[in-house]
Structure 1
Amino acid sequence: MIPPADVKEGETVMSEEETDHNAIYQEALALHEEHRGKLEIRSKVPLETRRDLSRAYTPGVAEVCRAIQKNKDLAYRYTLKGNSVAIVTDGSAVLGLGNIGGYAAIPVMEGKAVLFKKFAGIDAFPICFENYHSDFVEEVRNIAPVFGGINLEDIAAPKCFEVEEALQDIGIPVMHDDQHGTAITVLAALLNACRVTGKEFDDLRVVIIGAGAAGYAISRLLRCIGYNPDVCSPVREIVVCDTRGIIHRNRKGLYDNKYKFILADETNRSGKTGSIADALEGADAVIGVSGPGVLSPDMIRSMNERPIVFAMANPVPEILPEDAKRGGAYIVGTGRSDYPNQINNALAFPGVFRGALDAYATRISDEMKVAAAHAMANFVVRPNREHIMPAVLDKGVTTTIAKAVKEAAITAGYSRTL
């Protein structure tokens, strides 16, 4: 390529997209410096007179403490607990940056807190542990009294699975959003993709690329493994791929990873082996939660008629929408906001936690997750190829999901009566 006239030989020419990204990075630094972060705490009550102080603090606050001591559930009535979520991370898998630790994770967790407030009116606060290696579960358990829910965030697999599982008995909803928020959103997208393509959900052959937190949770939800069969309908078949290709029961090395072993046991019933390309032959849908560029137009051509392609790696998807369509993709979704059909867990977690808090829920159950997915899908009244998902910025999505989640919590018996 001949460089522009104003570029000297040997200098790098940045693309328009790279230039725009660099501008955003600099603007982000300036924004965070100007405001010293994105969160602040404000009082809900007046503190102008001595009587104000006596009611909000001592001596009046002692009576509130005595009431809660007699019945700890009254913390939901008298304190911030009923509308608060802790966003907990150990900084081990932040965005695509990897194990950057608790300090560097703060801006991301602050951003998540802003989304909670903007979309669901929830007061969320970052709790960032710095490369924590002791009993992480017990430390999280010990902060639970303050919060009505815990959103686990950016914790590396397999630790994320173990932490979430160990915290299900603490009496408040605990959800690893990278797993279940993503899975809920994918289920909603797949339901509407079936409405558009005419495919039957329970007849789908699905390939999932990526066997980490998101891939594991998506596969289990789509196959209803570990879910109440009365509320969950499975797809026909799932094949999961990682960087070594298809995960199957006879593959060497699976015993080194408990969760890949589980995937091998619970999916790929036909015993397929080989590469990602082999997995896609005859598939109805492919869901990418891995990395950039692992799919090609030729792979899409080998799929079943009217193929569904969800390429969700960010910022660069497994295949660009234009390339997927060149390969014959009928519906394409990505995790990005600059393409149609954004499939992003920001559509799920505000409504899920809003509904859980409104129900004073003790956990986030199977019924609540499935209800959230169907509410999200049904929010799009007339889906089409370019519009199978609600807009992330549409607050009506949160309200609709929250109502469905609250009702599911009450029906399933996971709500409190104060």
Structure 2
Amino acid sequence: MQVTARVRIEGPDDLAEHYTPGVAEQAKRVAEDPSVLARETVQANSVAIVSDGSALLGLGDQGPAAALPVMEGKAALLKRFADVDAWPICPVSREPDDLVRTVKDLATSFGAINLEDIAAPRCFTVERRLQDELDVPVFHDDQHGTAVAVLAALRNALKLTGREPADTSVVISGAGAAGSSVARLLLGADFRAERVVVCDSGGVLHEGRDLTAEKRWLAEHTNRGGAAQGSLQDALCNADVFIGVSAGGLLDGADIARMADRAIVFGLANPDPEVDPEAAAEHAEIVATGRSDLPNQINNVLVFPGMFRGLLDSGAARVTTRMLLSAAQALADTVGDDFDREHIVPSVFAEGLVPALAEGVAAAAKDY
């Protein structure tokens, strides 16, 4: 990572313009009109990537120092794909009050905030408070980037298998940051509450269980009527779709065989999916993973570059469900008309992917 100026500083005149006394005039202008900051400084194209390292990739709690190279990698991708300048910030304190205060203290320098690899349920508290207390958009990629990528892939998978969202039964394994956000976005995309079931390590979420706040919300808004009970395996019986955002090795081919005909299986745990892809493919019509060495890689990198490009370009103050739905539709459409069971999402290198998402997000921002 490095900082490179966009202007040349080759002699005394350049120094006077871009340092003293020139910057004093800019400071006065900002003091008189704060909107100058977004138009004419680095803030207009800058994102803070904030992580405490408590839920790092598939490694778990590795701490803030270990998070730094991961956040640098994400910053590199934002620059490569969307020309967004991003800065890794890895606070030591994990208390929600401290994390919120740290981000708020630094927010003047940034046009958007990307929360990353912060463990649930703390991530929900931090995100919601920052959304309420900042005037720049806050995007928790583990939640919303995953949900957008999953919804886009699912839209195309449903087309290939002749299904409509309202008639599709979905079982989600994982009730943390990703699973919760996937469920919420599906409910906003015409999937019916009684046909969406969320499972955690204790089995199906339902209102009869003693649950934490986020899981309690899921129990109240999914599995309406409590028709699904028991284990993850029980919930999969005759289900159309399985979405795994939990842990590897939870299922085997026999579990997939119990699903509906032409089933759709997204085993997104990394590096080991919830079910072996080859075993799943013996019984499912479409199989996707989070791995780059297999077909249908569903990964957040498909989403966050275009998402932040759109947020920054539109000057949006917050991330809305409408923006997420618009981004998912743009991502799904980028595949084109020639998609098939092994190509339900585009490559991250696909021409037009980032502009399409950015335009979709910006259009939705105008409606907010």
TM-score, normalised to structure 2's length? 0.96
What is the correspondence of 1:250-269 to structure 2 with a 5 Å cutoff? 250-251=208-209, 253-254=210-211, 257-269=212-224
What is the correspondence of 1:200-211 to structure 2 with a 5 Å cutoff? 200-211=164-175
Contact kept in structure 2, 1:64 and 1:78, CA below 8 Å? no
Q: 2:247 aligns with which of 268, 291, 300?
A: 291
For 2:342, what is the secondary structure of its paired residue? coil
For 2:44, the aligned partner's letter is G
Q: 1:335 aligns with which of 290, 293, 303?
A: 290
For 2:240, the aligned partner's letter is D
Match of 1:193 in 2: 157
Shift of 1:380: 1.2
Contact kept in structure 1, 2:242 and 2:265, CA below 8 Å? yes
For 2:291, the aligned partner's letter is R
The separation in 1 between residues aligned to 2:208 and 2:190, in whole angstroms, is 28
Q: In the alignment, does 2:200 pair up with 1:242?
A: yes
Q: In the alignment, does 2:42 pair up with 1:80?
A: yes
Contact kept in structure 1, 2:58 and 2:271, CA below 8 Å? no
Match of 2:139 in 1: 175
Q: Which has the larger radius of gyration?
A: 1
For 1:181, the aligned partner's letter is G
Contact kept in structure 2, 1:369 and 1:405, CA below 8 Å? yes
Match of 1:409 in 2: 365
Match of 2:265 in 1: 309
Shift of 1:244: 1.2
What is the correspondence of 1:18-417 to structure 2 with a 5 Å cutoff? 39-133=1-95, 135-169=98-132, 170-224=134-188, 232-235=189-192, 237-251=195-209, 253-254=210-211, 257-271=212-226, 272-326=228-282, 328-382=283-337, 383-412=339-368
Shift of 1:375: 0.4
For 1:144, the aligned partner's letter is A
Shift of 1:245: 1.1
For 1:211, the aligned partner's letter is A
What is the CA deviation profile of residues 257-280 of structure 1, one whole-angstrom value per residue up to 9, with x for unaligned ones? 111111111111131211111000
Contact kept in structure 1, 2:93 and 2:99, CA below 8 Å? no
For 1:240, what is the secondary structure of its paired residue? strand
For 1:368, what is the secondary structure of its paired residue? helix
Please, which runs of 5 or more residues in structure 2 have no aligned partner? Answer: none
What is the CA deviation profile of residues 123-156 of structure 1, one whole-angstrom value per residue up to 9, with x for unaligned ones? 0010111243352112111111100100000000
What is the CA deviation profile of residues 92-113 of structure 1, one whole-angstrom value per residue up to 9, with x for unaligned ones? 1111222222111100000000
For 1:85, what is the secondary structure of its paired residue? strand
For 1:352, what is the secondary structure of its paired residue? helix
Contact kept in structure 1, 2:172 and 2:199, CA below 8 Å? yes
Give the CA RMSD over aligned residues: 1.2
The separation in 2 between residues aligned to 1:53 and 1:325, in whole angstroms, is 63
The separation in 2 between residues aligned to 1:40 and 1:346, in whole angstroms, is 21
The separation in 2 between residues aligned to 1:223 and 1:408, in whole angstroms, is 18
Shift of 1:409: 0.7
The separation in 2 between residues aligned to 1:141 and 1:73, in whole angstroms, is 18
Count of residue pairs the alignment pairs up: 363
Please, which runs of 5 or more residues in structure 1 have no aligned partner? Answer: 1-38, 225-231, 413-418
The separation in 2 between residues aligned to 1:283 and 1:119, in whole angstroms, is 37
Contact kept in structure 1, 2:197 and 2:204, CA below 8 Å? yes
TM-score, normalised to structure 1's length? 0.85
For 1:364, the aligned partner's letter is V
The separation in 2 between residues aligned to 1:300 and 1:270, in whole angstroms, is 24
Contact kept in structure 2, 1:91 and 1:131, CA below 8 Å? no
For 1:400, the aligned partner's letter is A
Contact kept in structure 2, 1:119 and 1:395, CA below 8 Å? no
The separation in 2 between residues aligned to 1:188 and 1:353, in whole angstroms, is 17
Contact kept in structure 1, 2:335 and 2:345, CA below 8 Å? yes
What is the CA deviation profile of residues 228-247 of structure 1, one whole-angstrom value per residue up to 9, with x for unaligned ones? xxxx4234611111111111
For 1:342, what is the secondary structure of its paired residue? coil
Shift of 1:70: 1.3
For 1:149, the aligned partner's letter is A
The separation in 2 between residues aligned to 1:352 and 1:266, in whole angstroms, is 27
Contact kept in structure 2, 1:189 and 1:388, CA below 8 Å? yes
